[in-house]
Structure 1
Amino acid sequence: MKDHFYMTSAILAALGGLCLAPGAMAQEAGARAGAEDTIVVTARKRSERLEDVAASVSVLSEEDTELLALDGIADYVRQIPNATLVSAGPEYLADISIRGQGGGRQGFSESATGIYRNGIYVAGGGFGGRSFSRLDFFDVDRIETYRGPQGALYGRNAVGGAINVISQRPTDEFSAEFKAGYESPERYSGKAILNAPLSDAVAARIGAYYTDQNDGFIKEESTGEAVDKREYFGARGQLRADLSSATTANLTVEYFDSTAPGFSALGQRQAPRFAAGQFADTEPGPFVSRDSRRGVVEIDSTAVFAELNSALSFGEFTAIFSYKQRNGDRFNEDLDSFLGFQGITVAGIPTDLIASQSEDFERFGGEVRLASNDDGGVTWLIGADFGAHTDDVVTANDGAAGIGALAALATRVDAFTEDLTTYSAFGLVDFPLGGNTTLTAEARVQHDEKDFVFTREQLGAVVLDTGDVSESWTKFLPAITLSHDFAEGHLIYLKAASGYRPGGFNTGIDTANADFIPYDPETAYSFEAGMKGVFGNGVRYGLTGYYIITEDIQAVSTLGTTTTTTALQNVGDTNAYGVEAELGGVTPAGPGRLRWNLAAASGSGEFSDDAVITTAGGGSVVEVIDLGGVRLNRTRDYILSANAFYFAPLSGDIDWFLGGSMQAEGGGYENASGGSDSPTGRSLDHFLMFDARAGISGDNWRLSAYGKNLSDEVYRVQSVGGNAFYNEPRKYGVELQLKFGG
């Protein structure tokens, strides 16, 4: 399959040589949208207009995030075309899958998508390191999503795409913002942001937010008390200094603290419970808890970012460095309920198991790059990055049980340390071929090294010790794009690209399954054709078709019914294919304006004929499932989103606005053994959700009310070990926002 990728890349390069003669494919659609309608993105590691980038890119602006009443990661993912949430229950373990890629995941494996803040990779570890935290979405300028493999420029884990969250930066004007809100059920929130120039060359921006949810949707059956309460606090300080007329430095320090529900607080047990060979009762519903205790997750993290940008005579130099330290703890988990053995007494011993886990994570990384000026000729970009992290995790169980396997589980302590070192070099060259045609070549050489030490103790004695296990991988990740501007602000393109997700080590394997500890990388090769542009009235459009071949894809399976053990495995190759379309803009309508956006996607795919996965059967690893021809999990028949907001004058300096959004998904399978003829396959739930917001605003204030999931749609987000995790039902809220200066 790799040969096919390189052959197609060569064909695209050859086609570029034939495109020297001009020839307009369409008439001019009108003057380019005004500067106020320009959307700038950094999909190619430099600032460019969205319509000039030959790639499938979408953007959520600051105004989008405020109007759409977005909160946690699930809300944001539903707004990203052709992206789905891959959850494991608690939100700190959520992943983002784009174009059905990266669906195989573990709590401490590599993330399913490239996760970036202000252009630098920030993922790693398990306690919130798989995706974005709520602090990442605080005081945001825009959120850029690059669909399709992005290995050449964005490196690790970008097998389906990458997401880059751009924060607001200090400016030279004084401004202040305050927001207070209330949301059902009994949730209070507030934020404050202050931007101030300290001198002609120095400016600061500080901000913080706090959310306290004292009630919830999941109630304990006997008391009626909520078990899904939450509390979040985040703060960020930035200092920007103009070191010269051409050089600017920016330092960011931030802190995040969260207390949220764990597995046992959120999950509904789906499978019947076991009682000496007999089936007991099942849970009464998705929002009623019968657990004997409530799992809680506490996470605190500190991050530092240092950035330097310098405009040179021939281009721009950029250096970014980041540091993150995070502590995570989950405790008081009702493990016997999670496994389906709650209330079972054997040999006179009631089953009562308690689980806890802690993580100490530290990461340091940096990137430097140099880009030439865009003077209409050959342009280029070169760069290098590096990173290192250490992840120390301890998982300890307690309690008692009369069932032998559970009694052993109750006295088990697992501990592992993973050290990662990674470095790479990358580059890009644009070759103008004449006739508004450009050939772009990109490439990255990436090297990853992982060291892993895992021990298991039973009653104080070591029963499994891996020793110091090491693996390393070096990957060459090319991409090539042929694009043609057939009218001002409109282009078509063909692209071949690659992406890579490193291998690693499973962290909870039983002694009998030690062969499953290591797993290999997966590599994606994609072929994409697209068309995009912006009309003179500011309406933007995009249409893309893609085909992705993934080698040695990673998939997850359960290896036992009396343990929480799961394992990532390389199960074979897959192909994925689909189409995406976007349309949106700001349109004058009557006395006001209509801001609107539509997005639709459809995807599918299959496992190769020789693909197989090993999974649990009757409590031990005895079943090998043939995946040949089975539909690729996490692909959806349709993913739809639409939003529209109308703004108009009300009286004097007061305006009113009204709007909402819709998200819908359907089709597909949750796990790799899915398929209509598979007894172990789990279909993904379909859903159709509606949100709305209405309000009034003045020169420096806005008051609004909103509703989320107005149709009260309840669907299963994920199943884990026989437990189902659901979305939140209908919610209402009000917000008051004040802004000064700026």
Structure 2
Amino acid sequence: MARAQTWNRYSIALSLGTAVAALVGVSGNAHAQDVAAAVTPSGDSIADKPTADDGSIQDIVVSARRRDETLQTTPIAITAIAPAQLEAKATLNIGDLQGAAPNVLITNQNSGAAAANVSIRGLSFADIDKSFDPTVGIMVDGVFIGTNTGAYLDFFDISSIEILRGPQGTLFGRNTIGGVINIQRTKPTGEFGGKFEASYGRFNTWAGRGVLNAPIVPDVLAAKLFYFHNESDGYYRNAMTGRRTGASNNENFGGSLLFTPSSDFASLLTLEKQVQDFVPVNSNISKTGELFCLLEPANECDRNTTTDLYTVFVSPTSSHYTAPAVTWQNDLDLDFTKLTSITSYRSAKEQQTQDFDSSSVDIYYSNRRQKFHQVSQELRAAGKFTDNFDYVIGGYFYSSRYELLQRTRITLFAPPRITEQNTIGHSQSYAVFGDFNLSITDRLRLSFGGRYTHDRKKNRNRVDADQFPGVTYNGSKFTPKVEVDYRPNEQIMAYASWSRGYRSGGFSGRGTTLVSSTTPYGPETVDSYEIGLKMALFDRKLLFNIDAFYADYNSLQQSTTVPTSTGVGNETIVTNVGSAKIKGIEADFTARPVDRLTFTGSIGYLENGFKNFITQGAISALQPAVRTIDYSNVNLIYAPKITAAINAEYSVPTDFGKVQANVGYRYIARYDQQIGLDATAAYPPTGTVVIPRNDPRVRSDEQNLLDVSLSAQFAVEDRKVRVTAYTRNLLDDRGPNAAFTVAGLWSFSSAREPRTYGVQLGVEF
């Protein structure tokens, strides 16, 4: 009966999208950007023409506020990245965006398939469990991806990328409390043509990717097919076999159909599937004093957290992930308003084994199976009440279901303990929203809006023979936003804003006790204040943007791993842990001082701190007594104090085409990767335990990343050909990508990509 009810809800949502499509189809210009980009025969975009004929820097059109606006007139902190920039640097995936915008981190979580840890302005939630909501929303073609798994995306066939910093709850939803990465892929062009790329690099890494466009009915029906493949042997070395490990194989393929029976209606249907097979690898960073080190060979404990990470001692592991998806977008211009309907269904299955003790001794081994699917439906209307008063209004529905089945074997006990956990969770969200722009004068504009969201979550959990009762969480929130911008002239805009963000409460899907499985955590909220200045100077040879912000987070949700006397000896749960204050300054620029030379750069500065972060738990499995623990002095995770980047691009015309050189430097200050008590500190035997800092082993060292590429572009008949040689992380800066410690038991980490290099060939026709 439950499955039937769930399917009925999905059917209703899909039927709603169908009805809207039918309605707009009877009447027969969609969102200007959507339809224009879809049917423009040339396919030219700002990515193809970043500078005007006079050498000035063209402004980029963005849709950050669900409207078509130029970057320099959008009153929010946003970075827009032209696809040509990514292509010139041989960018492969979303992780290569790290450093492209201030106060933005994007790392790969190897505990889940294609899983992304995304942090914007110090806000992240680094967990692949499907019961937890992301803090940064990743949107692909207007669809919110409801889990960190599957969000580490391939970058090819991209039309635009926008990184919005700060809460975006009004237009993008409840779980965008940290910000949004808004990705739009290209649409069928309606002309026969294609784009293909092949590359080979270090660690036997090679990729082949292609897009083929073709008309079916001229000017009415167009098709696009795409296929991406990327594989590598991995950059770890298994000390027991002497071979490389950490291999991966990624496939992403599908097709789109664009139906444009008239100039004011467009219907775009995309079918796709993502498949990934990889070898999960963890590096052992346990040390003397932790229980696992008593069972492991001496040379596998007390290792450093830099170069040692690349040599591992692990049992055979594997992961298989498959995720089909359907997206259907319909756009209609009714003259008095523009309607948009986006209907989406995404599903995922994954099976993963993992050696969590990361040693040659089989101590902690898990087999995790997960199923997840989501359906969403968004309806929007955009238009003008008057010439100086415009609007975007709409409604949103989201529903998901996940199931976790995990078997864990621990050999610390005699006989070995095998624990099985089965969790089933449901989530539903309904929202209505509106966003309005009122031009008070030609130079002064007031923007305001809000979103009302209602969330409902269910959780049912079984651990071994213990079936815990099913529980339900309900919560609602209104998240408003107000901003004002002033343009004293055409070159300068100043703005100020206040917004409230919200992330839904729910249940800890990996709770293993009655209390942790049935006790909900509440929502977290943020009040964010921001002022900014955007300038176009020296006849648009320099674009410079700067902003300052202050964010006050309340009832902050925090993932914590605590020891237990049952099950596998520990559990990961989420609780509300007080408040946090984050403030900072961000700046970015684009400069074209002379012909053919372009500089881009950014810098971000963060200060953060917890307040009243008080929880209950044990210091370690060896000291299981429940204590009051004060984490108020520790740092937020994935929140480096400084992030900075500068990139230089120089192109030289030649008889055969042009040669282009790119040199980019990124600096990321050290940052913590987990809230965890410092095992090196001494604590009193009674009373409150005050944690002075997070465990030093979960701290990333500062990173100095240098990337260099050289491209030659030329034409062969009517084909554009590009050959690129590249090196990423030229300085071979090594260290942790993620780290985790379980108090008193063991600790492990993964390593970031070392120096790599390769060559890439691209053909476009």
How far apart are residue 550 of structure 1 and its match?
Answer: 0.7
How far apart are residue 556 of structure 1 and its match?
Answer: 1.9
Residue number in structure 1 paired with 2:220: 201
How far apart are residue 538 of structure 1 and its match?
Answer: 4.6
Q: Residue 584 of structure 2 is aligned with which of 578, 584, 588? A: 578
Q: Does 1:661 align with 2:664?
A: yes
| Partner-residue secondary structure (3-state), 2:416 | helix
Residue number in structure 2 paired with 1:506: 508
| Partner-residue secondary structure (3-state), 1:96 | strand
Q: Which moves more between the two structures, 32-41 or 190-199?
A: 32-41
Q: Does 1:604 align with 2:607?
A: yes
In the alignment, is the contact (CA less than 8 A) between 2:739 and 2:748 conserved in 1? yes
The runs of 5 or more residues in structure 1 that have no matched partner are 1-30, 344-350
In structure 2, C-alpha distance between the alignment counterparts of 1:626 and 1:501, rounded to whole Å: 24
| Partner-residue secondary structure (3-state), 2:262 | coil
Q: How does 1:645-656 map to 2 (within 5 A)?
A: 645-650=649-654, 652-656=655-659
| Partner-residue secondary structure (3-state), 1:698 | strand
How far apart are residue 518 of structure 1 and its match?
Answer: 2.5
Cα-to-partner distance string for 1:621-654 (whole Å, 9 max, x where unaligned): 634321335443332221011112111112x232
| Partner-residue secondary structure (3-state), 2:114 | helix
- Given residue 416 of structure 2, which amino acid in structure 1 is its aligned partner? A
How far apart are residue 266 of structure 1 and its match?
Answer: 3.3
Residue number in structure 2 paired with 1:139: 157
Q: Residue 205 of structure 2 is aligned with which of 187, 193, 215? A: 187
How far apart are residue 352 of structure 1 and its match?
Answer: 5.0
Q: Residue 268 of structure 1 is aligned with which of 281, 284, 308? A: 284
In structure 1, C-alpha distance between the alignment counterparts of 2:185 and 2:706, rounded to whole Å: 28
How far apart are residue 193 of structure 1 and its match?
Answer: 1.0
Cα-to-partner distance string for 1:216-249 (whole Å, 9 max, x where unaligned): 2211113211111111111121111113221111
In the alignment, is the contact (CA less than 8 A) between 1:537 and 1:587 conserved in 2? no
Q: Does 1:168 align with 2:186?
A: yes
Q: Which moves more between the two structures, 216-225 or 322-331?
A: 216-225
Residue number in structure 2 paired with 1:696: 712
Q: Residue 112 of structure 1 is aligned with which of 112, 123, 135? A: 135
**1:505/1:621 Cα in 2 relative to 1: closer, same or farther (>3 Å)?**
farther
**1:443/1:621 Cα in 2 relative to 1: closer, same or farther (>3 Å)?**
farther
Q: Residue 467 of structure 1 is aligned with which of 456, 466, 469? A: 469
In structure 1, C-alpha distance between the alignment counterparts of 2:609 and 2:728, rounded to whole Å: 35
Q: Residue 56 of structure 1 is aligned with which of 61, 77, 83? A: 77
RMSD over aligned Cα, in angstroms? Answer: 2.6
Q: Residue 420 of structure 1 is aligned with which of 407, 427, 434? A: 427
In the alignment, is the contact (CA less than 8 A) between 1:307 and 1:321 conserved in 2? yes
Residue number in structure 2 paired with 1:730: 755
Q: Residue 234 of structure 1 is aligned with which of 227, 249, 252? A: 252
Residue number in structure 2 paired with 1:44: 65
In structure 1, C-alpha distance between the alignment counterparts of 2:293 and 2:545, rounded to whole Å: 59
The runs of 5 or more residues in structure 2 that have no matched partner are 1-51, 679-690, 742-746
Q: How does 1:500-649 map to 2 (within 5 A)?
A: 500-511=502-513, 514=516, 517-535=519-537, 536-560=539-563, 563=569, 565-589=571-595, 593-609=596-612, 611-612=614-615, 614=617, 616-619=619-622, 620=624, 622-649=626-653
In structure 2, C-alpha distance between the alignment counterparts of 1:187 and 1:657, rounded to whole Å: 24
Q: Does 1:367 align with 2:384?
A: no
**1:438/1:353 Cα in 2 relative to 1: closer, same or farther (>3 Å)?**
closer
In the alignment, is the contact (CA less than 8 A) between 1:576 and 1:632 conserved in 2? no
Percent identical among aligned pairs is: 23
Cα-to-partner distance string for 1:430-468 (whole Å, 9 max, x where unaligned): 1222251011111000111111111111xxxx12x2222
How far apart are residue 689 of structure 1 and its match?
Answer: 0.5
In structure 2, C-alpha distance between the alignment counterparts of 1:179 and 1:72, rounded to whole Å: 14
| Partner-residue secondary structure (3-state), 1:519 | coil
In structure 2, C-alpha distance between the alignment counterparts of 1:522 and 1:476, rounded to whole Å: 13
In the alignment, is the contact (CA less than 8 A) between 2:633 and 2:692 conserved in 1? no
In the alignment, is the contact (CA less than 8 A) between 2:95 and 2:108 conserved in 1? no
Q: TM-score, normalised by structure 1?
A: 0.86
How far apart are residue 673 of structure 1 and its match?
Answer: 5.3
Q: How does 1:282-293 map to 2 (within 5 A)?
A: 282-283=300-301, 285-291=308-314, 293=315
Q: Which moves more between the two structures, 513-522 or 155-164?
A: 513-522
**1:516/1:468 Cα in 2 relative to 1: closer, same or farther (>3 Å)?**
closer
Q: How does 1:236-315 map to 2 (within 5 A)?
A: 236-262=254-280, 265-272=281-288, 274=291, 281=298, 282-283=300-301, 285-291=308-314, 293-315=315-337
In structure 2, C-alpha distance between the alignment counterparts of 1:532 and 1:485, rounded to whole Å: 10
In the alignment, is the contact (CA less than 8 A) between 1:33 and 1:537 conserved in 2? no
Residue number in structure 2 paired with 1:3: none
Q: Residue 211 of structure 1 is aligned with which of 230, 237, 244? A: 230
Cα-to-partner distance string for 1:560-582 (whole Å, 9 max, x where unaligned): 28645222221101110000000
Q: Residue 446 of structure 1 is aligned with which of 420, 430, 453? A: 453
- Given residue 367 of structure 2, which amino acid in structure 1 is its aligned partner? S
Q: Does 1:716 align with 2:701?
A: no
Q: Does 1:390 align with 2:397?
A: no
In the alignment, is the contact (CA less than 8 A) between 1:507 and 1:517 conserved in 2? no
In structure 1, C-alpha distance between the alignment counterparts of 2:760 and 2:479, rounded to whole Å: 46
Tell me how many residue pairs correspond in the alignment.
677
In the alignment, is the contact (CA less than 8 A) between 2:236 and 2:312 conserved in 1? yes
How far apart are residue 88 of structure 1 and its match?
Answer: 4.2
Q: TM-score, normalised by structure 2?
A: 0.84
Residue number in structure 2 paired with 1:407: 416
Q: How does 1:325-364 map to 2 (within 5 A)?
A: 325-331=347-353, 333-335=354-356, 337-338=357-358, 343=361, 352-364=363-375
